[in-house]
Structure 1
Amino acid sequence: MTNELSTDMETTETYELDQHLPYRIAVISNILQLGRDIEIRKITDLGSRELRVLLNVGTYTPVSAAQIAFQTKLDSYTISRGVKALLNQGLIEKRALPNNKKEKLLYLTDKGQAVYTKVTASLTRRDEQFASFLTKKQRTELIKNLKKLEQQAVELLAQHAIAEQNEGIELSGDQKEIIRWFNKMD
């Protein structure tokens, strides 16, 4: 049996993982995690999750946790943990809407604004260095194509999840979230 297995393996072509576009994008994303950047670490000891939430609150204020989850494509549990950590550190605050006391929006505190300003200055430098070989036109096209790839990824995964759901298979929370993202894209 071992000989049969090794013979089958020898005749099967190996998958060219380095040519798999989602894999290449994931590798770049892993390299560029905010928590790995020593310049960011000098500014704050926040983890990647908290940094993503802080950046979204600072950029889109006022914003809800649900909006951050949609924008970042992270699950609501991850976002709520990030929000809780930032609230505990006094970097953000929640405020109720005047006409809806149940819904709370997130805002940076003065302390959070100071961290946000330093982090975004560092990110601006990093962005310029990272893509320095691109012309302005190439950068614009790349951003446009990355947005298209994001939409395509959500649509593809949502279609797979919907097909499973239509067959009566119970979906995980992640799969349900992907369907929600897809429905918001319309």
Structure 2
Amino acid sequence: MSSDISYKNALKNRLESFAQGDNRQILSLENHIPFQVAVVSNLLSISRDPIIRSLTDLDTRELRILVNIGSYGPITASDIAYQTRLDPYSTTRAIAALIKKGLAQYVQGQEQTRSKPVELSEEGRCIYAKVTAHLQNREEKLLETLTPDEQSTLRQLLQKLEINAEAVLAKEVQHCESVGDSVTRDHKEIVRWHSRTTKKDT
């Protein structure tokens, strides 16, 4: 009960920062889901975690790529970009940086191409183990006020939101192209991701 009261008080204090005037046409950000998701994402950014910073000096992007390789490797750069939703150029640069630092390596016995899978080195796996142990501990603390059913529902909703966001962005890119507006390589990558997500089984 005390935890519930504490949560309600914290929420009340937080919402007071969103107090608006009489203009009801103003976007109500405290109820705007994309804004709420972005705020939570900002709070949970690896770069803001002091314990992570004590474990490694990798920048945020390099660390995200390292964790992805550790969880799904051997994996190609294009697959990493698709899973992390980072642009391919930044993904490739981060992989190159990890390889230069001796934390990742190309899979041996395969021709070295842009699509060659990468995996963590022994040193990279050591950092991965420390970082993921902390991330799992932080997740437990973050979700401790949610019931198992709420946690399951949250995961399902976030997955749906991601797929919907991809679809909306892809359609916007296609619309811009159809009316002659310029789009970037990153925009076109979203369309490729959407095609990959929605492909039918053969």
Q: TM-score, normalised by structure 1?
A: 0.89
1:86 is the counterpart of 2:98:
yes
Structure 1: gaps of 5 or more residues: 1-9
Let me know the Cα RMSD of the aligned residues.
1.7
Describe the SS at the equivalent of 1:104: coil
Aligned residues: 177
Distance 2:24 2:73 in 1: 53
**Does residue 30 of the first structure (1) align with residue 42 of the second (2)?**
yes
Using the TM superposition, give the Cα deviation of residue 11 of structure 1 relative to its aligned residue in structure 2, in angstroms.
Answer: 5.8
1:108 aligns with 2:120: yes
One-letter amino acid of the counterpart of residue 154, structure 2: L
Q: Which amino acid aligns with 2:131?
A: V
CA distance in 1, matches of 2:32, 2:23: 21
1:132 maps to 2:139: no
Structure 2 equivalent of residue 58 of structure 1: 70
Tell me the residue number matched to 2:3. none
Q: Structure 2 length normalisation: TM-score?
A: 0.82
Matched to 2:47, the amino acid is: G
51, 55, 71: which one aligns with 1:43? 55
Query: Equivalent residue of 1:70, what SS?
Result: helix
- CA apart distance, 1:71: 0.3
Aligned match of 2:81: 69
Shift of 1:169: 2.5
The amino acid across from 2:188 in the alignment is: K
Give the whole-Å Cα distance in 2 for the aligned partners of 1:96 and 1:20. 48
Partner of 1:18: 30
CA drift of 1:15 comes to 1.6
CA distance in 2, matches of 1:164, 1:97: 43
CA distance in 2, matches of 1:123, 1:47: 16
Q: Is the 8 A contact 2:74 2:107 kept in 1?
A: no
Q: Which of the pair is proportionally richer in strand?
A: 1
Per-residue CA deviations over 1:68-107 (Å, capped at 9, x if unaligned) read 1000111011111211211111000012664x55331110
Percentage of matched positions with identical amino acids: 37
Moved more, 75-84 or 51-60: 75-84
Question: 2-side partners of 1:69 and 1:97: how far apart?
Answer: 24
When residues 161 and 97 of structure 1 are mapped into structure 2, their CA distance, relative to the original with a 3 A threshold, is: farther
